[in-house]
Amino acid sequence: MGVDTSKLTLVRTYFIGIETKKVPIKGSLNLLMTIRTYPKCHALQQTFMVIKMNLSYNVIHGRPLIHKINAVINNRYPTMKFPTDKEVAIVRESKLISRRCTLTYLKGNKICVGNIQHP
């Protein structure tokens, strides 16, 4: 994602990876994050842990973020709903991008970039 490593805060712990292997955390980074677009959006500061791991994801949102924005996740229909000042916002997963990222990962490539699909 092109993160400047000089801006990372040192973190002395490990991330337990998908295959339960310990992955060292390179550091943490505070970023302003906006979910969705105006007027159905939520902006907040979020701390991200930076790791070096070959995954098809570029960000994994954990429970603290989900609770902070009062989001509801639906795994059957990959969506996330959360309240905003105006109304309830919905973020939907793009199945096409999901498939492309999975294939990219399985082929051994390191980067897959895609956009979140908005209704």
Domains of the chain, by residue range, sit at 5-106
- Asked whether residue 38 carries a pLDDT value surpassing 80, the answer given is no
Identify the three-state secondary structure at position 89.
strand
The token pair at 85 is 């000042």
pLDDT confidence of residue 58: 59
Residue of higher predicted confidence among 64 and 18: 64
Average pLDDT over residues 70-84: 85
Q: 3-state SS of the chain: helix, strand, coil percent to 5?
A: 20, 35, 45
Query: 81 near 71, Cβ under 8 Å?
Result: yes
What integer pLDDT is reported at residue 46 of this predicted model?
82
Residue 110 has pLDDT above 60, yes or no: no
Closest CA to 65 of 78, 48, 50: 48
Query: Shortest CA distance to 109 belongs to which of 59, 58, 60, 54?
Result: 54
Neighbours of 44 (CB within 10 A): 12
* Tokens, residue 86: 């105006």
